[in-house]
Amino acid sequence: MAKTSLSRSVVQKPERVRVGLGKRSYDIILNPGGLDRLGEYLLDLGFSGKVGIVTNPILQGLYGRRVERSLKKAGFQRHTISVPDGEQAKNLRWISHILDELLAQRFERQSVLVALGGGVIGDMTGFAASIYQRGIPFVQVATTLVAQVDSSVGGKTGVNHPLGKNMIGAFYQPALVLLDTQTLRTLPKREWTAGLAEVVKYGMIADPKFFGFLESRIEDIINMDDTSLHHMVKRCCEIKASVVAKDERESGLRRILNYGHTIGHALESLGQYKQYIHGEAVGIGMVQEADLANSLGLCAEKVVARQRDLVRRAGLPTNLPPLNFGDLWGAMLHDKKVARGRIHCVLPKAVGKVTVDPLDQKAVKTWFRQVEKHQA
Ligand code: NAD
Ligand code: GLY
Q: Compute the distance between CA of residue 53 and CA of residue 42 in angstroms, rounded to an integer.
A: 13
Confidence of residue 339 (pLDDT cuts 50, 70, 90): confident
Backbone angles phi, psi at 137, to 5 degrees: -70, 150
- Asked if residue 367 has pLDDT above 70, the reply is yes
Q: Is the Cβ atom of 177 under 6 angstroms away from ligand 1? A: no
Confirm whether residue 123 is marked as ligand binding: yes
Please give the C-alpha separations between residue 325 and each of 27, 55, 66, 128, in angstroms, as whole numbers.
44, 40, 50, 39
Confirm whether 162 is domain-assigned: yes
Q: How many domains does the chain have?
A: 2
Tell me the β-bridge partners of 77: 50
Confirm whether 49 is domain-assigned: yes
Rounded to an integer, the average pLDDT of 32-49 is 97
Question: Could you tell me if 59 and 175 lie in one domain?
Answer: yes
Atom of ligand 1 nearest to the CA of 198: 43
Within a 10 A sphere around the Cβ of 220, how many other Cβ atoms? 17
Within a 10 A sphere around the Cβ of 8, how many other Cβ atoms? 8
Has 274 been annotated as catalytic?
Answer: no
| Total-model pTM | 0.95
pLDDT at 337: 73
Nearest Cα to Cα of residue 206 among 155, 253, 142: 253
Confirm whether 5 is domain-assigned: no
User: Which residue's alpha carbon is at the smallest distance from atom 1 of ligand 1?
Assistant: 118
Q: Compute the distance between CA of residue 61 and CA of residue 330 in angstroms, rounded to an integer.
A: 42
Angle at 370 between CA 368 and CA 376, to 5 degrees: 100
Please give the C-alpha separations between residue 246 and each of 252, 254, 357, in angstroms, as whole numbers.
9, 8, 20
Domain boundary among 186, 220, 239: 186
Confirm whether residue 87 is marked as ligand binding: yes
Catalytic pick among 134, 274, 340, 362:
134
Question: Could you tell me if 270 and 366 lie in one domain?
Answer: yes
Query: What's the maximum distance between 2 C-alpha atoms anywhere in the chain?
Result: 64
Domain boundary among 163, 186, 209: 186
Query: Which domain, by its residues, includes 55?
Result: 15-186
Give the CATH number, domain containing residue 267.
1.20.1090.10
- Asked if residue 10 has pLDDT above 90, the reply is no
pLDDT at 9: 52
Has 31 been annotated as catalytic?
Answer: no
Confirm whether 52 is domain-assigned: yes
Question: Could you tell me if 371 and 256 lie in one domain?
Answer: yes
- Asked if residue 176 has pLDDT above 80, the reply is yes
Say which amino acid occupies 89: A
User: Which residue's alpha carbon is at the smallest distance from atom 40 of ligand 1?
Assistant: 151
Question: Could you tell me if 202 and 168 lie in one domain?
Answer: no
Q: Is the Cβ atom of 300 under 6 angstroms away from ligand 1? A: no
Question: Could you tell me if 150 and 194 lie in one domain?
Answer: no
The HSE-up count of residue 97 (CA atoms within 13 Å, CB side) is: 14
Q: How many residues does the chain have?
A: 376
Tell me if 256 sits within 8 A of 52, measured CB to CB: no
Q: Compute the distance between CA of residue 65 and CA of residue 36 in angstroms, rounded to an integer.
A: 10
Question: Could you tell me if 81 and 103 lie in one domain?
Answer: yes
Give the CATH number, domain containing residue 54.
3.40.50.1970
Question: Could you tell me if 221 and 313 lie in one domain?
Answer: yes
Q: What percent of the chain has pLDDT over 90?
A: 91
Question: Could you tell me if 42 and 176 lie in one domain?
Answer: yes
Q: Compute the distance between CA of residue 136 and CA of residue 151 in angstroms, rounded to an integer.
A: 19
- Asked if residue 284 has pLDDT above 80, the reply is yes
How many angstroms does the Cα of residue 350 sit away from the middle of ligand 1?
A: 30
The HSE-up count of residue 121 (CA atoms within 13 Å, CB side) is: 31
Question: Could you tell me if 247 and 288 lie in one domain?
Answer: yes
